[in-house]
Amino acid sequence: MTTHRFCTYCDKGYAARLLCLHESLVHQGEPFVLYVLCFDRETEAVVRAWAMPSLVAVALDEVLRADPAYAAVQAQRSPVEFFFTATPVIIRHCLERDEAAERVTYLDADLFFFGPASAVFAEQGEASVGIVPHRFPSHLKAREQYGLYNVAWVSFRRDANGLACLEWWRKRCLEWCHDRWEYGRFADQGYLDEFPRRFAGVKVLHHPGIDAAPWNIGEAKTTQRGNHVLVDGQPLLFYHYQGIRELSPGWFEPGLRQYQVSLTKPVRELVYLPYLRKLVQMQQRLRQRHGIEAQFTYQRLNAGRSLRDRWERFKARWVLPYYGRVLGRLVYGGGASG
């Protein structure tokens, strides 16, 4: 069986999500390697301590040495923009590092697999490049200005078309990769619109169970058949948990409201609960073994001592989570995670 080669990146704030992604791939029973560009020492220590051959730490210093052009833009980008710029950089680095890899696929760290990656690759077939559309419903069409395609799964085969597309994307991101919309560009994502126009061998993966996400789950029908979750009658292969926020220990805002999506019982029970329970477990392990604390929304508020600042912290820590629970907008992942 082919060993899938994946790559991602994160810092300690997303380390628990990274571990959930890795465990979901392990659970599918297919051989794989997940390379992780670690943006801080804490994440690198976590990945190395996991001591599994399927989870490989890639130190930031290694990538900066290998790609001086990427190192040169660090001072020009905010931390999140430097992360975005890394997407094609780490894919190329893994292709160069792992000479046996016929294909390397970038995954966002906040994905979770419900089905085998081989089913996604079957949709991609022999294509040189695989990308996934947002599948925005009609009321979210305005969001297409940020990109028709989502940087969650971007897969490149080691062939002429794949390598040419990857290098074009890398150069564009090195030129401009900012956390704002500007003339059709947005971070690393807007450039994906050009892939099918500029390069042969690009496959758009339309399967509804590939990159199901907060922005497209609202109009889909989520059901269960045996042990399998279905989206519009097709197996859910992986879900993108973009936008989830832990408001108080174990209680999560799932990030659906910003897309005008209600938290239905099937979505809560079949999609969010399994992931959030696993996320809480991983956060507990990181706290116990590595001293990495979960980051709650209220911890990012102003630390001032004025009455207004204190009220904002109290509201975020207690009032909003309480009303979120009462209104059924939050999901409880179990046990205290912080």
Q: What is the pLDDT of residues 288-322, one digit of tens each?
A: 999 998 877 655 566 677 887 777 777 676 666 65
Quick one: 26 exposed, middle or buried, by C-beta within 10 A (0-12, 13-18, 19+)?
middle
Domain 4-242 class, CATH top level: alpha beta
Mean pLDDT score, 87-96: 98
Q: In 3D, which of 282, 294, 116, 295 has the Cα closest to residue 207?
A: 116
Residue type, 278: K
Q: How is 68-129 classified by DSSP, letter by letter?
A: HHHHHTGGGS-HHHHHHHHHHHHHHHHHHH-TT-SEEEEE-TTEEESS-HHHHHHHHTT-SE
Q: Is the pLDDT of residue 336 over 50?
A: no
Q: What is the pLDDT of residues 137-147, one digit of tens each?
A: 999 999 999 99
How many Å apart are CA 78 and CA 84, to the nearest integer?
Answer: 10
Quote the pLDDT of residue 314: 72
Mean pLDDT score, 102-122: 98
Mean pLDDT score, 108-112: 98
Mean pLDDT score, 146-171: 98
Q: In 3D, which of 231, 208, 232 has the Cα closest to residue 135?
A: 208
Residue type, 145: Q
Average pLDDT, the chain: 92
Q: What is the pLDDT of residues 3-20, one digit of tens each?
A: 999 999 999 999 999 999
How many Å apart are CA 143 and CA 62, to the nearest integer?
Answer: 36
Contact predicate 240/211, CB 8 Å: yes
Choose between 115 and 1: higher pLDDT. 115
DSSP state of 139: G
User: pLDDT class for 21, splitting at 50, 70, 90?
Assistant: very high
Mean pLDDT score, 76-95: 97
How many Å apart are CA 4 and CA 122, to the nearest integer?
Answer: 13
Residues in Cβ contact with 1 at an 8 Å cutoff, skipping those fewer than 6 apart = 30, 31
Residues in Cβ contact with 85 at an 8 Å cutoff, skipping those fewer than 6 apart = 70, 73, 77, 173, 174, 177, 188
Q: Is the pLDDT of residue 338 over 60?
A: no
Q: What is the pLDDT of residues 181-202, one digit of tens each?
A: 998 899 999 999 999 999 999 9
- What 162-167 contacts at long range (C-beta under 8 Å, 24+ apart), as own/partner pairs, is 162/103, 162/128, 162/129, 162/201, 163/95, 164/199, 165/128, 165/129, 165/195, 165/198, 165/199, 165/202, 166/88, 166/91, 166/92, 166/95, 166/129, 167/92
Q: What is the pLDDT of residues 236-259, one digit of tens each?
A: 999 999 999 998 888 899 999 899
Q: Is the pLDDT of residue 79 over 90?
A: yes
Dig out the tokens for 305 from the structure: 């001592």
Q: Is the pLDDT of residue 44 over 60?
A: yes
Quote the pLDDT of residue 309: 74
Quote the pLDDT of residue 318: 64
Q: Which of 160-174, 256-270, 314-328 comes out lowest in average pLDDT?
A: 314-328
Quote the pLDDT of residue 47: 98
All structural domains of the chain with their residue ranges: 4-242, 247-338
Quote the pLDDT of residue 50: 95
Percent of the chain with pLDDT over 70: 92
Quote the pLDDT of residue 337: 40
Contact predicate 279/20, CB 8 Å: yes
What is the side-by-side order of every strand in the sheet holding 222-225? 222-225, 228-231, 234-235
Residue written as token pair 């609960």: 273
